[in-house]
Structure 1
Amino acid sequence: MSTNSENPLQQPAAIQQNPWERLNDGKAIFAFVCVLLSYSIYYVDRALVTNIMPRIAGQLDGMQLYSWVFTINMLIATCMAPIWGKLSDTYGRRNIFMIMLGSIMTGLILCSFSTSFPMLIVARGIVGFGAGGIQAVTFALIADLFAPADRGKYSGWTTVMVGLAGSLIPVTAGWVTDTFGWRAAFLMPVPLAVIALVLDYFIVPNVCSQTKPKIDYLGSLLLAMATVPLLLAFSWAGSLYKWGTPVNMSLIAFALIMFVVFYKHESRTPHALISPALLKNRPFVTAALVSVGMAFSLLGVMIYVPLFNQGVLGLSTTVHGAIMAPREICGIAAGLIAGWLMSKTKRYKWLLILGPTSSVIVLVLLSYVEPGVSILYLTVLLAAQMAFGGFMPAVNPIAALNGLKPEESGQAAGTLYYFSALGLALAPSLLGSVLNSGFSSALQAKLTPELVASLTTAQNAAIHNPRILLNPAAMKSLESSFSSLGPNGAEVFRQVVDIVRGSMHQGLQDLFLVAAAITFVSVICAISLKELPMAERAIKRGH
């Protein structure tokens, strides 16, 4: 055994063992528990935001900017994902992990103190700055702690944290919002983040490279210059600009040009942000494309089912949280079972096919759901998506990182999450455009000239903003304004609200069908994936 007094996790690559071969089981598992706690912060934040955002949008008059809360978060996260992955290889995974958690915690506090919707969007951007690398560095840490053949069962536990966050947080956040207000809900994860920071500092090993490779700052800038215009083109299409307008097409063309420039730059630089070799690795690229398509199915449910439940069905945030809770519990079970099956069978391709296939079916069925739907049916339908696909966040990194060298884990995980985050950023932008377009078209078709003529300018403006479905105060104000119409005022009010509610429903139906079509691309990619053998642990762990 070497007597080198230096940290064995930072020895030169020529004499370095795989990281998992230098930790005993107890230390590896204890560190893994700390990583899980930190990883859960990301999903706690996501679960509470998607649940309470309709209420916030109603109170801060942010329905026109609704999708931007999610878009700005994922836009910044997308740009930061490969950077965080590279930095974790260079400066140590634990150190970068703690910086990311600190950014998320700061953003949450600023969210709580936001006084306007634009300010909230900025705060969500700060959260996205830190959240960009959480998944990437988490799975890079799992790759450091465990051998490839063992990673499946441990990765499965990440879905437990996702499930716990998804099942407990919506109900808790809904109750806190209904009782104390949405500002208090944003402060819920902060104490957990503080505990996670302390544990990470003392327990998680700081795995990094001894050679300290350079950071490709020019590549980071070029990647941002390619990503941001693309996301803006999708975000603005259907709202500020129509699809196919000069502004829209110019943004897309500029983004494509910058992607080409970025790739050529990466091919020439010895310290590439995203290695061209990774982009030529077919199993890796295929798994990355699966993650892009799956983002549309996951966010199609997470972001827009709350709008259906609260805006179309008129349910409270607490009831909506109760409907979503079984879905996340199913995700916990699915993740554990899938992880166990991967460890036993050393197979993962069939899971990659099952996940997106089940999501396509659920999204198509959601597009046919009517306002009179049974709460039980809706609960079972949403739970089915996670029961047969909740393991995807754990399985996909296994498929992507399998067969790669340990020193490539951070960069590869960052690149994978870049693709995933790109999908997560494009999803609310594109789906939000579909919703806005569907809502506007349906509203125009349902409003008769006679009805429009009977409305005041203020009333007409109010019904073109779906926030009245989500803000009880706005709905009450609109109802009071109809009293000036005399005895028929109450009936006209109910007619107008039904039209707005029906238009929202039509927009959501269109959205679910578009999400299903895009998710189907993931099914095709998963079928075409080449499955590689999963390596066993070569030697006994150290003690």
Structure 2
Amino acid sequence: MEHLSHKRKITIMMAIIMAMFFSAINQTIVSTAMPRIIAVLSGMEYYSWVITIYMLTSTLATVLVGKLSDIYGRKPFILAGIVIFMIGAFLTGFSKDIFQLIIYRGIQGVGAGIIMASVFTAVGDLFSPRERGKWTGVMMAVFGFSSVIGPTLGGWLVDNFAWKWLFWIFLPLGFVAFFMILFLFPKVETNKSEKIDYVGSLFLSLTIIGILLGFSWAGTKYDWGSWQILSLFAGALLSLVIFIFVEWKAKSPVLPLHLFRNDIVTISNVIGFLMNAGMMGALIYLPFFVQGVEGISPTYSGYVTMPMSIAMVIMSTVIGRQISKTGKYKKYAILGLPIMIAGMLIMAFMNSVWLAVAAMIVFGIGLGVGMPVFSLTVQNAVKPNELGVATASSQLFRNLGGTIGIAVMGTIMQSSLVRNMEKEAASAEGFNFENIDPALAKQLEMFHNPEMLLDQPKLAELQSTLPADVQPIISQLIETLRDALSASLTTVFLAGTALVVIALLLSFFLREIPLRTSNAMPEKEKEKEQDVAFKNPANA
């Protein structure tokens, strides 16, 4: 599609941006509202699973659609992704308990994975690597804009309306996006002669599922050394070995192994994995600090995260244009990652809402500077007919990083919270309920549950029903809960910081090749690509 007129490309980009915005806004709108939803449906122990299942299904959809879109084109998959996402959003609003919420969010994840895999690859079809810098910045800005209005709108909606409207309010936008893609996106020639790698897809899926379930359940549902967790990891390892063998022989592999002999692809994907593991694992728990520790309502919680999104929108747009102008990208990775680290360190030691805002600004600047780089590096380093699968590999590693990061940080959060609660109970400030009326003591024990801090109206209502003479005790209990939660969050944020530090160290080893001005690879690059590729016996 690179040969299309500039006007035609802009028209197609409008349709792509609409589809992406529909998917993105439905993700960001629930961020500040999720603690309240969990409190209403109950099941804080499954909180990370609501996020994990979304990431799991979107990850599977992303990597499987990458190769299929190289064969059948991007358009049918963008349309299918929108429809599946809309069905998932509609059903989510009818969730009666935490388990239904998890299932329906999983359906949404499938749609989101298909959309994201297709739209980013479509940009690669339309523009040369040099031009993609600008458009990648625009796409990041679109996601950033949804991050600006989403959390605030989500907080306001959950404070003033039934939470189901979070998932229904933008459904009309889905219809608009669907018909824009249907009528504006051009038909392209497909390569239906290629065979679908069903066996490779199966074992790749089994590998991903085993890894993600193992990390999600380890330390929470089961002990790390339990037979269930060890079996999952063993099954994932076995599936991986079979997958590698299958891909080595496949004529049209779902994830070509030779991609990972390209050092640019490998290092970029590992950095993307670490960045998302640290970023998602830490940021998903920021509302716990704002709402749980500081007692801010979901509406105002959205205002706290808004500066990050604004900073990211501005910086990603500026940096995207600079990358397109100069064709250079490595310096922005090396500059952006330290700024992200600084923002996460502020999160680890913040003790007020204003410090949380400062952390969001710094982190957003770093995210806007560094994040656009690593998709461009991967797309620039592969042949045009591998754009879909290469982009999918990049998003696969990012999604894996985000999902594993959330799961591991959730384990860290839960174990640290239990440890801090036990420490508080054993301290001199612990409370003895032996001399208190048993019925009243039972009510006071409810204030040992940190989940109560996430539903401020319910907490205030319960507190108002208790006698005035025990109000000082209740205030101390709540303060103890907040101290324990705050200490646990510090541990989570520091763990996330450590992962981004490793990503920074790896970025110094990223080889930089100038961004091409055409989708066609120069002969020298073709020769280099062939030199580093695996020799696939099936293609010999």
CA distance in 2, matches of 1:289, 1:459: 49
- Asked whether the equivalents of residues 282 and 492 of structure 2 are also in contact (C-alpha less than 8 Å), the reply is no
Distance apart, 1:482 and its partner CA: 5.0
In the superposition, relative to structure 1, how do residues 460 and 273 fare at CA in structure 2: closer, same or farther (>3 Å)? farther
Extract structure 1 runs of 4+ deviating beyond 6 A: none
CA distance in 1, matches of 2:337, 2:302: 24
CA distance in 1, matches of 2:210, 2:432: 38
Distance apart, 1:499 and its partner CA: 1.3
| Mapping for residues 143-542 of structure 1, pairs under 5 Å | 143-370=124-351, 373=352, 375-448=353-426, 451=431, 453-454=433-434, 458-459=442-443, 462-472=446-456, 474-476=458-460, 478-479=462-463, 483=467, 488-537=469-518
Moved more, 210-219 or 506-515: 210-219
- Asked whether the equivalents of residues 308 and 505 of structure 1 are also in contact (C-alpha less than 8 Å), the reply is yes
Aligned residues: 514
Distance apart, 1:453 and its partner CA: 4.3
In the superposition, relative to structure 1, how do residues 495 and 343 fare at CA in structure 2: closer, same or farther (>3 Å)? same
CA distance in 1, matches of 2:84, 2:369: 27
Aligned residue number for residue 69 of structure 2: 88
Provide the secondary structure at the position in 2 that maps to 1:213: coil
Residue type of the alignment partner of 1:49 = V
- Asked whether the equivalents of residues 347 and 490 of structure 2 are also in contact (C-alpha less than 8 Å), the reply is yes
In the superposition, relative to structure 1, how do residues 154 and 79 fare at CA in structure 2: closer, same or farther (>3 Å)? same
In the superposition, relative to structure 1, how do residues 141 and 392 fare at CA in structure 2: closer, same or farther (>3 Å)? farther
Provide the secondary structure at the position in 2 that maps to 1:347: coil
- Asked whether the equivalents of residues 293 and 423 of structure 1 are also in contact (C-alpha less than 8 Å), the reply is yes
CA distance in 2, matches of 1:158, 1:241: 40
Provide the secondary structure at the position in 1 that maps to 2:195: coil
Distance apart, 1:330 and its partner CA: 1.0
Provide the secondary structure at the position in 2 that maps to 1:535: coil
- Is 1:115 the counterpart of 2:96? The answer is yes
CA distance in 2, matches of 1:242, 1:323: 36
In the superposition, relative to structure 1, how do residues 145 and 59 fare at CA in structure 2: closer, same or farther (>3 Å)? same
CA distance in 2, matches of 1:364, 1:397: 26
- Asked whether the equivalents of residues 269 and 398 of structure 2 are also in contact (C-alpha less than 8 Å), the reply is yes
Moved more, 393-402 or 137-146: 393-402
Residue type of the alignment partner of 1:260 = V
Contiguous gaps of at least 5 residues in structure 1: 1-18
CA distance in 1, matches of 2:426, 2:191: 71
- Asked whether the equivalents of residues 136 and 416 of structure 1 are also in contact (C-alpha less than 8 Å), the reply is no
- Asked whether the equivalents of residues 335 and 370 of structure 2 are also in contact (C-alpha less than 8 Å), the reply is no
CA distance in 2, matches of 1:319, 1:481: 26
CA distance in 1, matches of 2:50, 2:100: 10
> Alignment identity in percent?
29
In the superposition, relative to structure 1, how do residues 25 and 56 fare at CA in structure 2: closer, same or farther (>3 Å)? same
CA distance in 1, matches of 2:329, 2:322: 8
Distance apart, 1:509 and its partner CA: 0.6
Contiguous gaps of at least 5 residues in structure 2: 521-540
Distance apart, 1:380 and its partner CA: 2.4
In the superposition, relative to structure 1, how do residues 207 and 310 fare at CA in structure 2: closer, same or farther (>3 Å)? farther
- Asked whether the equivalents of residues 462 and 478 of structure 1 are also in contact (C-alpha less than 8 Å), the reply is no
- Asked whether the equivalents of residues 108 and 127 of structure 1 are also in contact (C-alpha less than 8 Å), the reply is yes
- Asked whether the equivalents of residues 273 and 411 of structure 1 are also in contact (C-alpha less than 8 Å), the reply is yes
* 1:457-501 alpha-carbon deviations (Å, 9 max, x no partner): 854763453220112454246536754xxx642122112111111
| Mapping for residues 53-92 of structure 1, pairs under 5 Å | 53-92=34-73
